Amino acid sequence: MTSAQKLEEIYCNPIPLEWEAFSTELSDSISILGKSAGFAIEFHSSATEKSVWLDKDTVYNVAENLISNAMRYADKLIRVDLTSGRLE
């Protein structure tokens, strides 16, 4: 999940993914990050669609960065709310 890049260097390649499987995989991944640093991560996920188009690597990089930043300021618990909806 780790790679530092400038925003201009990020190439986004969205693909269709099943929301439930993706959110479970992301939850497991960030839970491992939290556990290794002594943090509990409370993860909630909701979506209006069963599948979404996204670039999994980009989402993982952003999630890792957000969790790492949260660890600097949290005591022992980090709450994550992942939501997807249709853009109109």
Structural domains in the chain (count): 1
- Find where tokens 């600097």 sit: 72
Q: How far apart are the first and last CA of the chain?
A: 31
Pair of tokens at residue 75:
């005591």
In a domain, 6, yes or no: no
**Which has the closest alpha carbon to 48: 15, 10, 8, 84?**
84
**Which has the closest alpha carbon to 77: 45, 42, 31?**
42
CATH number at residue 60: 3.30.565.10
In a domain, 4, yes or no: no
Q: Give the predicted TM-score (pTM) of the model.
A: 0.80
pLDDT in tens, the chain (88 residues): 445 557 677 788 999 999 999 999 999 999 999 999 999 999 999 988 899 999 999 999 999 999 999 999 999 999 999 998 766 5
